[in-house]
Amino acid sequence: MHCTEAQNLLDDHLDGLLDQPRDDALAAHLENCTACRHELAARKALITRLRRLPLEAPTAGFAARALHQARQKHAQRIRGFVTGFGSAVAAGVVLWVAVGFWHPAAERSTPPVQAITLQVKQPSTVNLAFNVPGQDRYDRVRFRILLPPGVSLANHPGEREIAWEDRLEPGRNLLSLPLVAEQGTTGELVAQIEVQGVKKTFRIPVRAGAQGAWRGPVTPATPV
Amino acid sequence: MAIDNLLPFRRRGVDDFEQRVGPHVDGLYRLAHRLTGDRHDAEDLVQELLLRLFDRRRKLREIADLRPWLARSLYNLYIDTLRAHRRTPFANLDGEGETRLESLPDTDNAEYDDLDSSLQAALDRLNENHRSLILFHDVEGYTLPELSQILAQPIGTLKSRLHRARARLRELLREESVEPFSPDRRVNR
């Protein structure tokens, strides 16, 4: 083995990447070559020195503080989202309710109404539109819908409460609820949204009677 | 969100973010300090990474080997930060071709001597690819398979680059007439 070949193998030798035959051949060369032995020692010393290169310690308690701040900042951002959600609802642009056919244009063109009105025994679809401002998407959002006594999901008779996890995309997120009133009643549809333990509740008056169901316009829900 | 497609409600499990990531924070800080050369920049980098990771903690549960995955995330964030810095109008105020902003460790530190200063200076003169490779592998002890994940390069390519990076480092040390690593002048601690 020549010195050039030997020195090309030194790094692999130091990193433990040489197979046994080549390692043996290198060892045999080093046995008889002072220059290559010195080169190997110099490279080994350089790597040792690199491993021991000093480093400033972090400020006291950095790891615990950094983890805590990550959690805190995340919670603050979520709270900001939910606060913004409530403010936007107050302005009438985030959660909208429509009964029957729903069209985005209705949000702007129709006057708000004060309640959802259903006709007894007549299934009717209530659309809840959650508008998320900005470009953020929110995963693992917990939704909970509570229906007043006498009103249930049309395809799940007797079901007055549903809860699930889903995500909210930027812009409009539409939830269609097929409802049916079993009897004349007045109450509230309660919609709860929870993100990271921060909860927002909306209450929408519901009336069910023998009169024809109200259809068409949309109403901003009342945030609580 | 049609009602028929609603997912069944699942209670959120206990958040294990801190248990999973916590043990790696010191290592991430070390890496960040090696890359940035400054304690405060390193802490800022790690803090920003943790904030981003917290948003993706569900994804973290799917990662079997967190160490290289976290190192890769940190490195990507560092590169993004570096690029953003270079795009700012003030990025070149220090002068074209000069060494990146680096602050050497506290000179009162008894562990830090002239040879370390020379070695650090030579490291800082390497191009970013070579410097990162040596910092990851030779300084912080990441293996080539780990680096293959971190830098998304084949092991063979990384090995060749590492050899070139070391050769360049030796060359730079020789240029500065620093021969601290010959057997005669080795410092044994």
**What are the backbone angles phi and psi of residue A154, rounded to the nearest 5°?**
-60, -35
Closest chain A CA to residue B49: A70
More confident residue, B129 or A129: B129
| Yes or no, beta carbons of A69 and B51 under 8 Å apart | yes
Close Cβ partners of A31 (under 8 Å, ≥ 6 residues apart): none
**What is the SS3 assignment for B104?**
coil
**What are the backbone angles phi and psi of residue A138, rounded to the nearest 5°?**
-120, 120
Q: Which residue of B5, B6, B115 to mutate against A (max A Cβ within 10 Å)?
A: B6
More confident residue, A110 or A54: A54
Close Cβ partners of A24 (under 8 Å, ≥ 6 residues apart): none
**Exposed / middle / buried, residue A161 (Cβ in 10 Å: 0-12, 13-18, 19+):** exposed
In the prediction, which pLDDT does A131 show? Answer: 67
More confident residue, B122 or A192: B122
| Yes or no, beta carbons of A55 and B34 under 8 Å apart | yes
| Yes or no, beta carbons of A55 and B105 under 8 Å apart | yes
How far B84 CA sits from the closest chain A CA (Å)?
22
A138 pLDDT exceeds 70? yes
Task: Please tell us whether the domain made up of B112-179 is placed in CATH 1.10.10.10.
Answer: yes
How far from the centroid of its chain's Cα atoms is residue A203's Cα?
25
Q: Which residue of B48, B181, B182, B188 to mutate against A (max A Cβ within 10 Å)?
A: B181
CB-nearest to A67 from B3, B8, B22 is: B22
Contacts of A173 in chain B (CB under 8 A): 1
CB-nearest to B116 from A11, A53, A74 is: A53
- Listed in order, the ranges of chain B carrying CATH 1.10.1740 are 17-95
| Yes or no, beta carbons of B166 and A43 under 8 Å apart | yes
Q: In angstroms, rounded to a whole number, what is the distance separating the alpha carbons of residues A173 and A167?
A: 9
The helix, strand and coil proportions of chain B, stated in percent and rounded to the nearest 5, come to 65, 0, 35
| Yes or no, beta carbons of A56 and B1 under 8 Å apart | no
CB-nearest to A67 from B1, B50, B141 is: B50
CATH of B17-95, picked from 3.40.50, 1.10.10, 1.10.1740, 1.25.40, is: 1.10.1740
- pLDDT confidence of B182, banded at 50, 70, 90? low
Closest chain A CA to residue B46: A66
The helix, strand and coil proportions of chain A, stated in percent and rounded to the nearest 5, come to 35, 35, 30
Q: Would you tell me how many other CB atoms lie within 10 Å of the CB of residue A112? A: 13
More confident residue, B142 or B81: B142
A115 pLDDT exceeds 80? no
Helix (H) / strand (E) element for B91: namely none
How far from the centroid of its chain's Cα atoms is residue B96's Cα?
24
User: Looking at residue B127, what DSSP letter applies?
Assistant: -
**What are the backbone angles phi and psi of residue A184, rounded to the nearest 5°?**
-65, 135
Distances (CA, A) of A216 to A172, A191, A204, A219, B43: 18, 21, 16, 10, 56
**What is the SS3 assignment for A141?**
strand
Q: In angstroms, rounded to a whole number, what is the distance separating the alpha carbons of residues B2 and A127?
A: 10
| Cβ–Cβ contact B26 with A under 8 A | yes
Q: In angstroms, rounded to a whole number, what is the distance separating the alpha carbons of residues B133 and B144?
A: 10
| Yes or no, beta carbons of B54 and A51 under 8 Å apart | no
A173 pLDDT exceeds 60? yes
Interface of B with A in 28-87 (CB under 8 A): 29-30, 33-34, 39, 42-43, 46-47, 50-51, 53-55, 58
Domain boundaries, given as residue ranges, for chain A: 3-51, 74-223
- Backbone dihedral region of B177: left (phi > 0), alpha (psi from -120 to 50 degrees) or beta? left
The answer to which of A117-131, A199-213, B34-48 has the lowest mean pLDDT is A199-213
Residue range B51-90, pLDDT digits in tens: 888 877 777 888 888 999 999 999 999 988 877 665 444 3
| Cβ–Cβ contact A60 with B under 8 A | no
Contacts of B9 in chain A (CB under 8 A): 142, 163-165
Mean pLDDT value of segment A148-152: 90
Mean pLDDT value of segment B166-172: 93
Closest chain B CA to residue A62: B43
CB-nearest to A153 from B3, B47, B138 is: B3
- pLDDT confidence of B30, banded at 50, 70, 90? very high
Q: In angstroms, rounded to a whole number, what is the distance separating the alpha carbons of residues A216 and A39?
A: 86
- pLDDT confidence of A78, banded at 50, 70, 90? low
Q: In angstroms, rounded to a whole number, what is the distance separating the alpha carbons of residues A130 and A89?
A: 9
A37 pLDDT exceeds 90? yes
Contact present, A121 and A180 (Cβ < 8 Å): yes
Q: Would you tell me how many other CB atoms lie within 10 Å of the CB of residue A3? A: 12
Q: How far apart are the first and last CA of chain B?
A: 66
How is residue B149 written in tokens? Answer: 């994940």
- Backbone dihedral region of A171: left (phi > 0), alpha (psi from -120 to 50 degrees) or beta? left
Q: Would you tell me how many other CB atoms lie within 10 Å of the CB of residue A69? A: 15
Per CATH, the number for A74-223 is 2.60.40.10
In the prediction, which pLDDT does A34 show? Answer: 93
In the prediction, which pLDDT does A62 show? Answer: 93
How many residues are there in chain B?
189
Contact present, A146 and A161 (Cβ < 8 Å): yes
Q: Where are the beta strands (DSSP E) in chain A?
A: 95-99, 116-119, 124-132, 138-146, 151-153, 161-168, 171-181, 185-195, 198-209, 218-220, 222-223
**What is the SS3 assignment for A27?**
helix
Sign of the Cα pseudo-torsion (A80, A85, A90, A93, in order): positive
More confident residue, B103 or B114: B114
How is residue B169 written in tokens? Answer: 């480092």
How far from the centroid of its chain's Cα atoms is residue A46's Cα?
47
A69 pLDDT exceeds 50? yes
Mean pLDDT value of segment B137-160: 92
**What are the backbone angles phi and psi of residue A221, rounded to the nearest 5°?**
-75, 160
In the prediction, which pLDDT does A99 show? Answer: 44
